A and B are shown apart, each in its own frame.
Chain A
Amino acid sequence: MSDAALDYRRRIPRIVRPSVTASPPLIRWTLRIVTLTLFGVATAIGVNLGIGAPEISPTSVVHHDHVASP
């Protein structure tokens, strides 16, 4: 990461920079929605991964008496 990149704000005229004014309640609600969405997506991915997981373990050779499970 270059210093120039980090310092971009100094180089770009103010008029070009995006200007967003947000009140604290709006910020809080946005963050809550971001959190809920993130965990919603995590739930969907988790359920999908679990349901799509293998039904037969590729790492079991024989069940019960001689199970080897790397």
Chain B
Amino acid sequence: MRPLGHTATTLLVLVYLGAALAVLQGFFGAGLPVRLNASLVAQVSGMAAGYGAAVMLISMSRAPWLERGVGAHRLARWHASGAPLVIILTTAHAGAAIVAWAQAKSIGLLSATDDVLSLPGLITASIGTVILLLIGVASLRVVRRRISYERWHLLHLLTYLAVGLGFAHQLAGPDLVGRRWLQVAWALLYCYAFALVLRWRVLQPAFQLWRHRLRVEDVRQESKDVTSVLMSGQHLDELRAEPGQFFRWRFLTRETWRSAYPFSLSAPPTPRRLRITIKANGDGTRRLFDITSGTLVFAEGPYGVLTRRRRRRPRVLLIAGGVGITPMRSLFEAIDLPGKDVTLVYRASREQDLVLRHELDEIAERSGSRVVYLVGPTSDAANDMSAHALNRIVGDLSAHDVYLCASPRLASRVRDSLMDDGFPRHQLHEERFTF
């Protein structure tokens, strides 16, 4: 993971500052003295959850300044750690509010729940909370493993509805009510969050569909589990896509239009063509093997910071594991260095898992760069991917920028070894994908 840049740092400071203000408003919103009771818990957790939900929406809006300044992977990581917190805070808010109501009215919890649900905006807010809870449960690792990516993705889209349903209740909450400027600021926060989502997740891909008219030109089976999709379109140079970047692709057929999949370009983009290479990873990706020529493609992107522009050192080491070869294949061809200064290390469990091998060999032969295949069990010393072993392969490792794309386990092993060996963090560039 690269160090936090200027944009990411500024953004984090602003997010924490906003969170502190929201929590303080929750503390002091009801006036002084502050008393630790269920009501206070409800107010503080409510303010924090409301603020957090807006931040989560913004973090996944795909706004280019966010994607470039922070990075798609880091944003996804922030979202993955922040979203459960928002769900917990929302649930705590609902529970504490019912307890507080019961205490204030000296009634039982069931009657309090009944009372609360009859208040304006509370039915919709409760439905929103239930939807959020369902999404939270579906995202638990143990449940997530049992449902397809497509179903999970579809369920995840309901988040927008859930957040929208809670909005009216938030504006009328006792922390904001009577403070007009706060109510305006809160409403603006939500309107801007939804505007960002609309602009970059709906309008931009729709515009790209119209402008570039991207269609599948050819589908080529690379192996039993891997296929390449060649797409052609117009004015693709206007996308400013770079080797190493990825798009979220939605293939508009009856079976596949519901899901957008993140796949890297597996060849340098041209003004007329883009190519991706897909490994079957469940029913959804397997269905992509059956798409036919002429299929329209809805593409969001380009995203990702794994580009040759990140290079600072005179030599480059590209490390790929399995289907992580796709961005590396693209970079391997496009990296702007003499061939002798570029090495690609490609790890796979079996010979047949080496994707695009003939292309890699051809690029290596043409440019004079080197490709090293590490095939077989991890226990084999010849497949060691520690910093020490990599240093042995390339010579002076510290003179290299290292680009890494592999399975989470392999990537973490290589990263940890490099960091333990004192390899400068800013010279390691990574892209991580998990469904």
Chain A residues within 8 Å of B, Cβ to Cβ: 1-3, 6-7, 10, 22, 24, 27, 31, 34-35, 38-39, 41-43, 45-51, 53-70
> B101 near A43 (CB under 8 angstroms)?
no
User: CA separation between A68 and B185, bound complex, in Å?
Assistant: 24
**Cβ B199 vs Cβ A47 within 8 A:** no
Q: What is the minimal beta-carbon distance from B373 to any residue of chain A, in angstroms?
A: 41
Residue of B105, B185, B254 near A1 (CB, 8 A) is: B254
Q: How far is the CA of A6 from the CA of B296 in the complex (A)?
A: 7
Cα(A34)–Cα(B210), bound, Å: 15
Bound state CA distance, A58 and B174, in angstroms?
8
Query: In the complex, what residues of B have CB within 8 A of residue A70's CB?
Result: 42, 94, 97-98, 100-101, 116, 119, 122
Q: Are B30 and A69 in contact (CB under 8 A)?
A: yes
Residue contacts A-B, CB under 8 angstroms, 28 given: A1-B257, A2-B254, A7-B296, A24-B235, A24-B238, A27-B211, A39-B195, A46-B191, A48-B187, A49-B191, A50-B186, A53-B183, A54-B172, A56-B177, A57-B173, A58-B120, A58-B172, A59-B119, A59-B169, A65-B35, A67-B30, A68-B101, A69-B42, A69-B97, A69-B100, A69-B173, A70-B116, A70-B119
Contact across chains for B195 and A1 when beta carbons are under 8 A apart:
no
- B32's closest neighbor in chain A, by CB? A64
Report the bound CA distance from A57 to B292 in whole Å. Answer: 57
Q: Is B121 an interface residue when CB atoms closer than 8 A count as contact?
A: yes
Binding site for A on B (CB under 8 A): 30-31, 35, 38-39, 42-43, 46, 94, 97-98, 100-101, 103-105, 116, 119-122, 169, 171-178, 180, 183-192, 194-195, 198-199, 203, 207, 211, 235, 238, 252-254, 257, 294-296
Main DSSP-derived SS at the A contact region: helix
Q: Which A residues are CB-close (under 8 A) to B38?
A: 68
Asked if A51 and B184 sit within 8 Å, CB to CB, the answer is yes
Q: How far is the CA of A64 from the CA of B43 in the complex (A)?
A: 12
Pick the contact of B178: A6, A55, A58 (CB < 8 A).
A55
Contact B191 A42 (CB under 8 A): yes
> In the complex the two chains form, is A46's CB within 8 Å of B184's CB?
yes
| B residues less than 8 Å from A46 (CB atoms) | 184, 187-192
Seed contacts A59-B122, A62-B104, A68-B100; 9 additional CB < 8 Å A-B pairs: A6-B253, A6-B295, A34-B199, A46-B189, A48-B187, A50-B171, A56-B177, A66-B103, A69-B175
Given contacts A24-B238, A53-B187, A60-B174, contact A68 B180 (CB under 8 A): no
Would A1 and B211 be within 8 Å (CB), given that A50-B183, A64-B31 are in contact? Answer: no
Residues of B within 8 A of A34 (CB): 199, 203
A66-B104 in contact (CB<8A): yes
**B257: chain A residues within 8 A (beta carbon):** 1, 6
Are A38 and B199 touching (Cβ within 8 A)? yes
Cα-based distance from A47 to B175 in the complex (angstroms)? 18
- Identify which of A3, A6, A51, A69 gathers the most chain B CB atoms within 10 Å of its CB: A69
B46, A69: Cβ atoms closer than 8 Å = yes
Q: Please tell me if the beta carbons of B174 and A59 are within 8 angstroms of each other in the complex.
A: yes
Does the CB pair A10–B188 fall under 8 Å?
Answer: no
User: How long is the Cα–Cα vector from A57 to B192 in the complex, in angstroms?
Assistant: 24
Residues from chain A with a CB closer than 8 A to the CB of B97 are: 59, 68-70
Complex CA distance for A53 and B253, rounded to whole angstroms: 44
Residues in B with CB closer than 8 Å to A67 are: 30, 39, 43, 100, 104, 174
Most buried by B among A42, A66, A68: A68
Q: Are B31's CB and A63's CB within 8 A?
A: yes
What are the 10 closest A-B residue pairs judged by CB atoms, nearest first?
A50-B184, A70-B97, A46-B188, A46-B191, A68-B100, A42-B195, A49-B187, A50-B187, A57-B177, A42-B191
